[in-house]
Amino acid sequence: MKDAPDLHTRIGAPPVFSDILSAAQRIKGHAVRTPLVECHALNERTGGRTFLKLESLQRTGAFKFRGAVNRLSRLADEGTTSVIAYSTGNHGQAIATAARIFSQKATIVMPKDAPKSKISRAEAAGAVIRFYDRSTESREEIAAQICQDQGGIIVPPGDDPAIIAGQGTVALEAVQDLQRLGLAPDVFLTPCGGGGLSAGCATVLNAISPATQLYAAEPADFNDTQRSLAADARLDIPDRKARSICDALLAPIPAELPFSINRLHLSGVVTAKDEDVMRAMRFALDEAKVLIEPGGAVALAAALQGQVDLKERVAIIVCSGGNVDADLISKLFE
């Protein structure tokens, strides 16, 4: 599948650095400035200095809250009272919570097999949930039909400049905090689903730390961005029935606007198998005393597997979420 020729006229131009600075001001007071923590156990493994950006401690448990607040606050300024989102869970929770903040009605299209904790938290925030089968139904088509029937504005997880700008504040904070230590990142490693987080971070790094190498990390069976970069065109994953414990990263194809940014700025894409992700989750729990969800741990898993050379280098590794169901937590101790 190739990029739609009218990409920028349909979904807006890519955000620039000033948009991320503006987003940082909009989310201030709503989002958490999450800690950047040096992981000495990982230093010993890699031979470098590694810092974890703990978005698992973000409000709603994932970085998605940043983009949601940035986008919905702008919609509130325009008088929008109803929003629709499609999500595997974290974007849905974020939109539901941000909608409550700005007194908006939220409808979230979520897969039937989304983690129960993510479903219940979106419902607790007041959202209406519409379930779908991710192997047979299109979440985009369902959202479009809801929009046609009920009205409102669709807020996608990636194809929105304001969403990408909000996610870019992850890198802005991390680089600023590293600079306060007198350091600059040689490597920035982040999980990747639809690509909005890596695209926002790429925009920041290109502006204030252009020498930094940016790597995206994907589940091994959902390496759509890796395949798309190799083909220089957006490609679906070959097996639409593939599964992974990394539920937050199961986008079958890169989002259009993020891919237009990532194709220009990513140094590469690495992958991790589910068993390596589980090991990374346990490593984070044992060594950093933090609980990270599978999708949030895929970049850490890739680093632990040595997929990016970190020896004698300074690296920022984004741990993008911490929403884990209890049954998966118990498996960490088996």
CATH code of the domain containing 31: 3.40.50.1100
Whether residue 88 sits in one domain with residue 22: no
Tokens 């908006």 belong to 104
Whether residue 261 sits in one domain with residue 185: yes
Distances (CA, A) of 246 to 222, 226, 295: 9, 16, 4
pLDDT tops 70 at residue 210? yes
Alpha-helix runs per DSSP H in the chain: 7-11, 17-27, 40-46, 64-77, 90-101, 116-124, 139-150, 161-180, 196-208, 224-231, 256-265, 274-283, 294-304, 326-332
pLDDT score for 6: 34
Residues 78 and 315: their CA atoms lie apart, in Å, by 40
pTM passes above 0.85: yes
Residues 6 or more apart in contact with residue 85 via CB below 8 angstroms: 91, 92, 95, 106, 107, 108, 109, 143, 154, 155, 156, 157
Count of structural domains, the chain: 2
Whether residue 81 sits in one domain with residue 15: no
Arithmetic mean of pLDDT, 310-331: 93
Whether residue 267 sits in one domain with residue 136: no
Whether residue 172 sits in one domain with residue 83: no
Whether residue 59 sits in one domain with residue 84: no
Query: Can you give the residue range of the structural domain that contains 130?
Result: 64-154
Whether residue 131 sits in one domain with residue 49: no
Indicate the residue type of 67.
Answer: G
Residues 41 and 50: their CA atoms lie apart, in Å, by 9
Instruction: Place 334 in a pLDDT band, splitting at 50, 70 and 90.
Output: confident
Token pair of 311 as six digits: 């020896």
Token pair of 71 as six digits: 């986008």
Whether residue 215 sits in one domain with residue 192: yes
Q: What are the residues facing 109 on neighbouring strands? A: 86, 130
pLDDT tens-digit map of 280-314: 999 999 999 999 999 999 999 999 999 999 999 99
Residue 2 lies in a domain: no
Question: At CA 97, angle to CA 95 and CA 99, rounded to 5?
Answer: 65
Whether residue 184 sits in one domain with residue 47: yes
Whether residue 328 sits in one domain with residue 257: yes
Whether residue 206 sits in one domain with residue 103: no
